[in-house]
Amino acid sequence: MILLDGNIFKNMLAGGAKALEVNRPVIDELNVFPVPDGDTGTNMSLTMAAAMREIAPVDTGDIGEIAVAFSKGALKGARGNSGVILSQILKGFAVELDAKAAVDKKNFAAALKRGTEIAYSAVTKPKEGTILTVVRVMAETASSLARKRNMEFEEFLSEVIKAGEAILQRTPEMLPVLAKAGVVDAGGRGLVTVFEGMYASLTGGDIPVIDPAKTAPVMAPAESKEFVSLDNDYENITFQYCTELFITHLKSAVTESDIDKYRDYLMTIGDCVLVIGDLDLVKTHVHTNDPDRVLKAALKLGELDSIKIENMMEQHRKIVGEREEKEGKQKKQLKPYAMVAICAGEGMKAIFKDLSVDVILEGGQTMNPSVYDILNAINGAKAQDVFVLPNNSNIILAANQAKELADVNVHVIPTTCMPEGISAAIAFSPEMTPEENYTVMCGAFSELRTAEVTHAVRSTRMNGFSVKEGDIIGIYNKKIVAKGSSIGETTVDTVNRMAEDAEMLTLYYGEEVTEQDAENMASRLQQAFPDLEVAAYFGGQPHYYYIISAE
């Protein structure tokens, strides 16, 4: 049976990163919307690349050290929702493999399960039919296969990958938007690709290259089935004593089933349960209020050694005291409030600066900033309360991850586009409390309507439109509402779909539009919609000819 040490695991991770890099364009093509975007393949590949840079200087055979460093690098470099979720899956490996020199099937399965739980908990509203479903099924399969003693690790990993591929093919059954586009979930495809690269490295095979012709699901659409998501709470730890011990010289009558029952029992009296080993040695870790019951249960299996019981509440008091002392010193040097905005385009940067935004971080559709980038911007604001305007739905999750890592109070305003960010920034008042500002800023864009005029970067069929690469398209409410060969005609058609009952229409023109063309467009819209007050401002955003807001 193969035991993975640090060197083998490091090579496997390199294989996974390489597979993502090679297949990035194909995975990007799976994105449902045909707009210029920081696509899934790119985001996941950049996340893995950042993690590889973190472990490059780690010269050790300790798999735990490799896993922890890799997880740290992935979190720092996580980009987009898919990158953040991938980093959380890798965090599960760090949690489970920390302090381990080598890993077997059971450890690997436990790490995959822990990664699944952490990934689900990182998403406010987990959605089935995504990368979350794929990793969950792979983890369930791994847990089942890990019990088979005669199965070699290569076969074990191959079967786990097959299970991931099988459920990936079913993702269109769970998400109608995938079925309509005729594709499988891009994040799920990226995850399976990572594991395929790891398997190739382990077995000495070639890095897999996805055939673009085989990216569509192979299974016919079937009746949707309801999937149960995981429900875990990692924030409220209610068990006081961290209890660790080894069970040695197990009794001759003890079986693997007895060890499994022992693990199940510990889960009823505590959390953070870790029971690993075999019939020669079993290591136990559990947080519980009844360490005596843990010892009593362990004694039924064998002799006890290296018993350690620590009072986590006392440790917590000490940590909180030190943290409060540190925060007190920091707060004396920090200003009360600051705003951080993520945007693209010189004009947009100028607008946010005029609205007293303290730190401007470049990013948006074509390049999602990493968690580490956003954290640096938060720290650079040097304020006790920092309001972050992500201005892109694919950046909100990364912003929330940065919030968890920050030492100051961070309030992520869930703005999904730059006009929403502008409305939120206008609503900010230094005279209000942080809670009042959060409420007012979130409400400022609740009735704002926004649309974009851009060009299609791939051919597709959506919402009754047959779109070819290079067509000018208008997007409103995440749907294509207009198509044409003319920017002007497409813009008018788009406004016609969004401007009903509106009083004010604002055009933010991009880097490919001249000031004269923008003024002419504003005049044309003013004539076409006489009840609207129309204004045009230089945004300078790439790829999008116009970003439009109506209110």
Q: Report the pLDDT averaged over residues 36-62.
A: 84
Alpha carbon separation from 316 to 285, 292, 371, 408, 473 (Å, rounded): 18, 22, 27, 19, 55
Per the CB < 8 A criterion, the answer to whether 505 and 547 are in contact is no
Per-residue model confidence as pLDDT tens digits over 357-383: 999 999 876 678 889 899 999 999 999
Alpha-carbon span 348 to 317, nearest angstrom: 46
Q: Which of 24-33, 263-272, 324-333, 374-383 has the lowest mean pLDDT?
A: 324-333
Does residue 225 carry a pLDDT above 50?
no
Domains belonging to the chain, first-starting first, are 4-208 (1.25.40.340), 241-315 (3.30.70.3100), 334-444 (3.40.50.510), 449-550 (3.30.1180)
Strands, DSSP E only, in 344-406?
359-362, 383-389
How much is the pLDDT for 230? 32
Residue with tokens 């009840």: 531
The Cα 179–Cα 173 span in angstroms is: 7
Q: Please, what is the average pLDDT of the chain? A: 86
Would you call 258 exposed, middle or buried from its count of C-beta atoms within 10 A (0-12, 13-18, 19+)?
middle
Its pTM stands at 0.64
Beta-carbon contacts of 296 under 8 Å, excluding residues fewer than 6 positions away, are none
pLDDT tens sequence across 470-512: 999 999 988 999 999 999 999 999 999 998 889 999 999 999 9
Give 421-458 as a 3 state SS string: HHHHHHHCCCCCCHHHHHHHHHHHCCCCEEEEEEECCC
Which of 302, 241, 296 has its CA nearest to residue 270? 241
- Taking 90 as the threshold, does the pLDDT of residue 108 lie above it? yes
Q: Kindly state the average pLDDT of the residues 299-327.
A: 79
Question: What strand order describes the sheet that includes 335-343?
Answer: 359-362, 335-343, 383-389, 409-412
For the chain, the residue count is 551
Could you tell me the pLDDT band of residue 524, with boundaries at 50, 70 and 90?
Answer: very high
Given a cut of 70, is residue 131 above it in pLDDT?
yes
| Residue 61 in tokens | 């055979």
Q: How far apart are CA 186 and CA 32, in angstroms?
A: 9
